[in-house]
Amino acid sequence: MKIIMLGAPGAGKGTYAKGIVEKYKIPTISTGDIFRQNIKEGTELGKKAKGYMDAGELVPDELVCDLVVDRLEKDDCKNGYILDGFPRTIPQAEALTAALKEKGTGIDFALDIEMEDQAIIDRMAGRRVCAKCGETYHAVNIPPKAEGICDKCGGNLEIRDDDQPETVKKRLGVYHEQTAPLIEYYRTQGILHEVDGNLGLKGVNNKIYEILGE
């Protein structure tokens, strides 16, 4: 069960991915984690990535794809995985498709969490993040037991700068320009499944489980 999570920033991809992880026992793969791990371990791919990052340059799509595919060959991915945050562009998607095809595999599901921009802006305004442990809450949808206090560690809950309305609007603009075209890309591959993000946490999860199969 190989899954790509699509949807605008703030649509809840990370939250729904957690539900998939718990239910199907497959890992979520993030490029940030892959970069950090490879750089820490001093792998050849990590050294190459670090060279670009130290120079203040973007890591080329081909190298990012190589790092991702290398991670997907680890034992914990043998029953599947979720890619969240990659690919972000059509060239990255094409590189991933080609690399997986070489290994005789491919993506099974591209799940697109659909929400209007204004609904996302409103949702993000209610998001709160623990300054201590990073746990995420929402003032309406997932409130803490005590206002402003993290249930897990007792840390203070804050509104992140990138959850501010103006910042969210800019992020959505970048998404529509660079990442939204992936929806059509995976539609043409016959693996796109659109999910109404306004169904609420339980409704969206149930729809995803229906698509993936119980």
Active-site residue set: 13, 88, 127, 160, 171
Q: Give the separation between CA 124 and CA 79, rounded to whole angstroms.
A: 33
Q: Give the separation between CA 55 and CA 136, rounded to whole angstroms.
A: 33
Q: Give the separation between CA 107 and CA 93, rounded to whole angstroms.
A: 11
Q: Report DSSP letters for 54-103, one per residue.
A: HTT-PPPHHHHHHHHHHHHTSGGGTT-EEEES---SHHHHHHHHHHHHHT
Q: Give the separation between CA 8 and CA 210, rounded to whole angstroms.
A: 22
Which one, of 10, 204, 179, 181, lies nearest residue 88 by Cα? 179
Q: Residues in the chain, how many?
A: 214
